[in-house]
Amino acid sequence: MAKIINGTEISNEIRKEIAQRVSVLKSKGITPGLGVILAGSNPASHSYVGMKEKACAAVGIYTVTKLYSDSVTLNELIEQVDSYNNDPAIHGILIQHPLPNGIDELCVFSRIDPRKDVDGFHPINAGKLLIGEESFIPCTPLGILEMLHRSGYSPEGKHVVVVGRSMIVGKPLAVLLMQKNKRANATVTVCHSRTVNIPAITKTADILIAAIGVPEFVTGEMVREGAVVIDVGVNRVEDASTEKGYRIVGDVKRNEVEKIAEAISPVPGGVGPMTITMLLHNTTTAAEKLSQ
């Protein structure tokens, strides 16, 4: 049976380190601040922002959240981003994804001061990541790398297969894993919805990362014995046997894969807590740099 890579435990360890960094900043009269923009009525987005606010408070990061309806305009969002850009008490800016239909998301993300882009979505930070320069790295890919490092599963010299090519996870993660440093140095293959014979490719992975957004897509037949499997997916599937009428599953069919893999991250309690923790890390880093 696979070892469980417990994202909650690893996150708690990192959050203690972040709280110490925040304490040092506060001793200098600086309180790290995160400005949040939450637009629309998506219940998942409201839930995620609530969790992020709670996590920030626990380590001493100040947050302010601006709420907008589904009818928000592009100009309103840009004006709020500018307000956060010009506010010295705000060191990081978080725009909760997705934005309402009709909003040009790239336009909004591109308006963020790159020095406050704690989600790592600004084209400048994306470009720096690609060429290997220091930059803010998207929180989920950074959390996955940290999770592998702290659990003793280095990607160095390994074949890593990433299933999914989103701008939030798949693409930046692939680039991050290829970087020339001891926490990366992997050979990376990216699969996606148009890849032919995905199981033949995933079966070759030393480390398999599932981020395709399809419930239980990765089955036991797709995993090599002894592989390390990271499940990024968070999917709600109907289940009449539960009180809520649904259950949360990942992109990996855990009951099959955990019998084959050497290690696996669970859902929930795996990548999710790491993503929020890396937001805290990036916000603290932004405060440290902006206060120099």
Q: Which domains, from first to last, does the chain contain?
A: 28-117 (3.40.50.10860), 139-271 (3.40.50.720)
pLDDT surpasses 90 at 243: no
Q: Is the pLDDT of residue 244 over 90?
A: no
Q: Helix 7-27 vs helix 271-290: angle between axes, to the nearest 10 degrees? A: 20
Half-sphere exposure of 183 (CA within 13 A, CB side): 14
Residue 289 has pLDDT above 90, yes or no: yes
What would the pLDDT profile of 2-46 be if each residue is shown by its tens digit? 999 999 999 999 999 999 999 999 999 999 999 999 999 998 899
Q: What strands, in cross-sheet order, belong to the sheet with 263-264?
A: 3-4, 263-264, 228-231, 207-210, 159-163, 187-191
Name the pLDDT band for 213 (thresholds 50, 70, 90). very high
User: What is the set of active-site residues?
Assistant: 52, 96, 119
Determine the pLDDT at residue 169. 97
Percent pLDDT > 70 in the chain is: 100
pTM for the whole thing? 0.96
One-letter amino acid of 263: A
pLDDT at position 239 over 90? no
User: What confidence tier does 109 reach under pLDDT thresholds 50, 70, 90?
Assistant: very high
| Contact present, 218 and 251 (Cβ < 8 Å) | yes
Q: What are phi and psi of 95, to 5 degrees?
A: -105, 115
- Residue 252, Cβ density class (10 Å: 0-12 exposed, 13-18 middle, ≥19 buried): buried
| Rg of the chain over all Cα atoms, to the nearest angstrom | 19
Give yes or no for residue 241 having a pLDDT over 90. no
